[in-house]
């Protein structure tokens, strides 16, 4: 995919090994390619109730690796969204990462069935890649090109009989990847639309993606907002804001980067 002809995972691992992480970094010798983990609840977590458009009451919580919305309290079979791939700013921010995905599970369960894109800074160069993951198994990259500004659609559907269909489409570049995976024992207890700071021995520094707007977010075929989902803001281990989730405007919402 890249002009260096190195796999995305190899490039990411090299960045992890070389980057001078200070806050959440794993030791260089233990560096591995990042994964996309279940929600890590912040130690400074303080839930409270706020009102987001349409007079829908949402609980807001904090996490050290997720920002976005999660529908909880039922069993979920599908989730989908669309967005424009954000451009990440890499000046002075080598070794920062941001992933944008939809998934089932992970909010209060130990599995996540998910697909999305990741942006990361390899030196001063921004790299972009599509992927899917059936956590706790490792993530799998697609070789198809993804660039900032591309129109992305993604969905995860439980098709019954232990089968999940994960779809990632880059409408700008006219490609679609459809992956069917069998898995058993997953709770399907949540459905999410998330921006994440990926994980590799610890939560990695969050790449500056500006603001990403998720459009037409659906859960079980209905607007995500209709489920009174939990809003999630990303904070550091000390409680500093890292990414803030907006209220809904119709079926759209945004997430804005605050800090690494």
Is the N-terminal amide bond of 200 cis, ω within 30° of 0? Answer: no
**pTM of the shown model:** 0.81
Task: Look at residue 15 in the predicted model and tell me its pLDDT.
Answer: 35
Q: What angle do CA 64, 200, 167 make, to 5 degrees?
A: 85
CATH class for the domain made up of 8-257: mainly beta
Task: Look at residue 37 in the predicted model and tell me its pLDDT.
Answer: 60
Task: Look at residue 260 in the predicted model and tell me its pLDDT.
Answer: 87
Distance CA 218, CA 55 (A): 19
Mean pLDDT, contiguous 10-residue spans, the chain (260 residues): 29 35 27 54 34 45 94 96 97 94 93 95 95 92 97 96 96 98 93 94 93 97 96 93 95 94
Q: Would you kindly state where each structural domain of the chain is located, as residue ranges?
A: 8-257
Residues paired with 129 in a beta bridge: 118
Distance CA 219, CA 171 (A): 21
For 140, the token pair is: 């799998």
Distance CA 131, CA 122 (A): 18
Distance CA 152, CA 171 (A): 6
For 177, the token pair is: 């990847």
Distance CA 196, CA 237 (A): 15
């Amino acid at each position: 995919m890249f002009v260096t002809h190195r796999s995305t995972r190899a490039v990411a691992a090299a960045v992890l090994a070389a980057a001078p992480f200070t806050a959440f970094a794993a030791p260089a010798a233990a560096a591995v390619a990042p994964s996309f983990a279940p929600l890590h609840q912040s130690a400074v977590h303080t839930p409270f109730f706020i009102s987001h458009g349409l007079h829908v009451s949402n609980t807001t919580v904090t996490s050290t690796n997720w920002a976005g919305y999660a529908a909880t309290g039922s069993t979920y079979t599908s989730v989908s969204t669309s967005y424009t791939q954000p451009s990440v700013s890499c000046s002075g921010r080598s070794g920062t990462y941001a992933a944008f995905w939809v998934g089932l599970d992970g909010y209060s369960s130990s599995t996540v069935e998910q697909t999305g894109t990741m942006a990361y800074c390899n030196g001063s160069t921004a790299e972009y890649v599509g992927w899917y993951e059936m956590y706790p198994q490792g993530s799998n990259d697609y070789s198809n090109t993804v660039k900032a500004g591309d129109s992305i659609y993604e969905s995860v559907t439980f098709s019954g009989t232990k089968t999940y269909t994960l779809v990632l489409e880059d409408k700008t570049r006219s490609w679609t990847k459809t992956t069917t995976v069998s898995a058993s024992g997953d709770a399907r207890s949540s459905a999410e639309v998330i921006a994440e700071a990926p994980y590799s021995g610890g939560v990695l520094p969050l790449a500056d993606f500006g603001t990403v707007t998720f459009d037409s977010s659906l859960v079980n075929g209905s607007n995500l907002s209709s489920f009174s989902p939990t809003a999630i803001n990303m904070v550091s281990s000390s409680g500093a804001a890292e990414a803030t989730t907006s209220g809904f405007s119709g079926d759209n919402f945004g997430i804005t980067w605050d800090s690494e």
